[in-house]
Chains A and B, each alone.
Chain A
Amino acid sequence: AQSVTQLGSHVSVSEGALVLLRCNYSSSVPPYLFWYVQYPNQGLQLLLKYTSAATLVKGINGFEAEFKKSETSFHLTKPSAHMSDAAEYFCAVRATSGTYKYIFGTGTRLKVLA
Chain B
Amino acid sequence: DAGVIQSPRHEVTEMGQEVTLRCKPISGHDYLFWYRQTMMRGLELLIYFNNNVPIDDSGMPEDRFSAKMPNASFSTLKIQPSEPRDSAVYFCASSYVGPNQPQHFGDGTRLSIL
- Report A's interface with B, CB cutoff 8 A: 32, 34, 36, 41-46, 49, 51, 90, 92, 94-96, 99-102, 104, 106-107
- Report B's interface with A, CB cutoff 8 A: 4, 31, 33, 42-43, 45, 48, 50, 55-56, 91, 93, 97-108, 110
Q: Specify the chain B residue showing the minimal Cβ separation from A49.
A: B102
Q: Assess whether A42 is in contact with B107, with CB atoms less than 8 Å apart.
A: yes
Complex Cα–Cα for A90 and B75 (A) = 25
Complex Cα–Cα for A89 and B56 (A) = 26
Q: Assess whether A44 is in contact with B42, with CB atoms less than 8 Å apart.
A: no
Q: Which of A43, A51, A99 contacts B55 (CB 8 A)?
A: A99
Q: Assess whether A46 is in contact with B43, with CB atoms less than 8 Å apart.
A: no
Q: Assess whether B99 is in contact with A107, with CB atoms less than 8 Å apart.
A: no
Q: Assess whether A46 is in contact with B104, with CB atoms less than 8 Å apart.
A: yes
Q: Which residues of chain A come closer than 8 Å to B108, judged between CB atoms?
A: 41-43
Interface of B is mostly: strand
Whether A43 contacts B107 in the complex (CB less than 8 A), given A106-B42, A107-B43, comes out as yes
Q: Assess whether A107 is in contact with B42, with CB atoms less than 8 Å apart.
A: yes
Q: Assess whether A45 is in contact with B42, with CB atoms less than 8 Å apart.
A: no
Q: Which residues of chain B come closer than 8 Å to A49, judged between CB atoms?
A: 100, 102
Q: Which of B50, B56, B106 contacts A43 (CB 8 A)?
A: B106
Whether A32 contacts B99 in the complex (CB less than 8 A), given A46-B104, A101-B56, comes out as yes
Q: Assess whether A101 is in contact with B45, with CB atoms less than 8 Å apart.
A: yes
With A41-B107, A43-B91 already in contact, 4 other A-B pairs whose C-beta atoms are closer than 8 Å: A44-B93, A51-B100, A90-B43, A94-B99
Q: Assess whether A102 is in contact with B103, with CB atoms less than 8 Å apart.
A: yes
Smallest beta-carbon distance B95→chain A, Å: 8
